[in-house]
Amino acid sequence: MRNVILCVGFAAFIALGDVAAFETRATRLQAITTVGVVSALGDEMSVTRAGLTPLNTPGQSVSIRSWGLDELVVQQATALLNGRFRVQPVSYPRDAFAAIGESAVTPVNLIRGDPFKALVRTDVSPKGLDAYVVISRAKSKLGTGRNVQGIGFMEYRTLLASYGLIHTLYEVRLIDGKTFDVIEKRAASPLGNIEIMRLQGPSQLVDAAFDGPAAIETLRAAIVDLITRSLPLTLGDMHLANTQ
Amino acid sequence: MKYFDEAAPRRASRAQQNLLTASLTALGIVVAGLEPAAAQTAFTLPAPPFDLPVLPSPSGSWTATVGIGGEYRPDFQGSKNWMLIPIPIFSIRRAGSTAQFRGPRDSGGIALIDFGNLRVGPAAKFVAARNSKDHSELRGLGDVKAAFELGGFAEYYAVDWLRLRGELRQGIGGHQGAVADVSADFIVPLIDRLTISAGPRFTWKSTKAVAPYFGVDAVHSLASGLPVFEAKGSAYSVGLGGQVSYRINPQWQVRAYVEYEKLLGDAADSPLVKLRGSSNQTTVGLGASYSFDFKVR
């Protein structure tokens, strides 16, 4: 009988302790008032050929710094977050944030921790905000040995046809401004389940409208559209913006 | 942006393929029309009352897949009779997570090292028990307990359409031998929704992995009427496999596969196989699955 009481008491202790711990994320979110937004996704667009490709088909990338996508992301995120937080402008070395990549060896990522924490701690100013929202490139698999990341255009070649796909793959981190812990990290989800070819983030099949002299501008507009439609959903999923 | 420069000549070369492409696409549209595609999430679950501190928050979009398949395969290793086994299909993953190409004979595994074209990680396979009372051909032979084979895999994509894979596993339980599988798969997408793949397979097994299934000792020889046979490890089998995967619409997918295996070495020479079974082993599988998205607030 004594053992049973001890067991029940121990279980209750664990349960109560867990409930206290479970509230951590929500509690930390409620305590946030001031927020800074960092965006580092939009300086380069990858051009990938996948599917039935010749041997040695290297990936390419082109500079799209002039498109000003990061400024757009900061502007849109600020507008969305302003309903709940007081967003303050921050300065940061965008290239340093964009250069961060995950190790291919999964245990290394687990051991070394999130590299964005250190960068926010040292390179973002002003210090002292309650939290920082960091938006950076994310990666997606194609299922056959090829990864794509960030903003890009992919041509998927099959035996009988070729398909164009644009993607805007990004993830959002909410980093505590005092401890620099990652409170939450979320990759942007696909926009609906209507495509046969899906990536792990916002993407869209493109057609002949992307041929011709106005292709670049049309492409930029499509990328902007993906960002505009996905950012409210992602921030909403993280309970950072009231968009539901 | 070379794509835009090259688009025009490629369009011309594609013209001859248009008829077949159009036919396949039309087939997809017709079948898709039978089941209206759910463009958005099927349902939304409320936010969980609390979060686990060490785990990512479950809020967001998820994809669930449910389905049923069947596999028609030999009763046991070396059998000439087949049996039908139902295989449930179920998975839940973050929305948009793409399924990695998978061969029917692949063991389950997790890539701990993932360079995209090179993946390495642990692998595990379950080998069902063989009970002599279940099959008349095994009468008089001993039972073999179920075995777990634990080890690792490495797969390399030389290009998107060629996967080379190797596995090395150690048996625990029913057999304590080593098993090595090597395979190649040529993966050819015909259109975006239809992919075929095929390639050769080779398996090597050590003595301890072969003997429990193909060896006949003196006691079992007396009980079964089969001659005494000492099965040793060697090249176990060569084979060919192929599969077809067709995505009817974003929700429905069907998949079929055939794996042929020719037993070699002492596995093929075993009296169990020579007198009561067959060294030709064929497995046929078919499955259909339905995927839908749901959201957790």
B231-280 pLDDT per residue, tens: 999 999 999 999 999 999 888 999 999 999 999 999 999 999 999 999 99
CB contact B126 to A (< 8 Å): no
Query: pTM for the whole thing?
Result: 0.79
Q: What is the pLDDT of residues B133-187, one digit of tens each?
A: 999 999 999 899 999 999 999 999 989 999 999 999 999 999 999 999 999 999 9
Q: Is the ipTM of this complex over 0.90?
A: no
Which 33-92 residues of chain A touch chain B by CB within 8 A? 47, 50-55, 57, 60, 62
* pLDDT tens profile A65-88: 999 999 999 999 999 999 889 999
* CA–CA min distance A34, chain B (Å): 22
Size of the A and B interface in Cβ pairs below 8 Å: 173
Better-predicted residue by pLDDT, A39 or A21:
A39
Q: Which pLDDT does position A9 carry in this prediction?
A: 57
Residue of B nearest to A154 (CA): B3
Distance from CA of B257 to the nearest CA of A (A): 18
| More confident position, A56 or B205 | B205
How close A230 comes to chain B (CA, Å)?
12
Contact B157, A144 (CB under 8 A): yes
Answer yes or no: are the C-beta atoms of A184 and A238 closer than 8 Å: yes
CA distances from B235 to A136, B55, B76, B78, B239 (A): 50, 45, 19, 15, 12
pLDDT of residue B18: 46
Looking at per-residue confidence, does A61 or B96 come out higher? Answer: A61
**Of the listed ranges A8-22, A132-146, A174-188, B60-74, the one predicted with least confidence:** A8-22
pLDDT band at residue B52, thresholds of 50, 70 and 90?
Answer: low
Closest residue in B to A19 (Cα–Cα) = B50
Using CA atoms, how far residue B157 sits from B12, B18, B208, in Å, is: 30, 29, 32
Rounded average pLDDT over B10-24: 41
Q: Where in chain B are the domains? A: 35-296
Tokens linked to B53:
């501190």
Share the mean pLDDT of chain A. Answer: 84
B13 pLDDT band, cuts 50/70/90, is very low
Please determine, for residue B287, whether its predicted confidence score (pLDDT) is greater than 80. yes
Q: What confidence tier does A24 reach under pLDDT thresholds 50, 70, 90?
A: low
CATH number of B35-296: 2.40.230
Q: Is the confidence at residue A193, as pLDDT, over 70?
A: no
Q: Residue B57 and residue A215: Cβ atoms within 8 Å?
A: no
A184 — pLDDT class (breaks 50, 70, 90): confident
Q: What is the pLDDT of residues A205-224, one digit of tens each?
A: 887 566 667 788 888 999 99
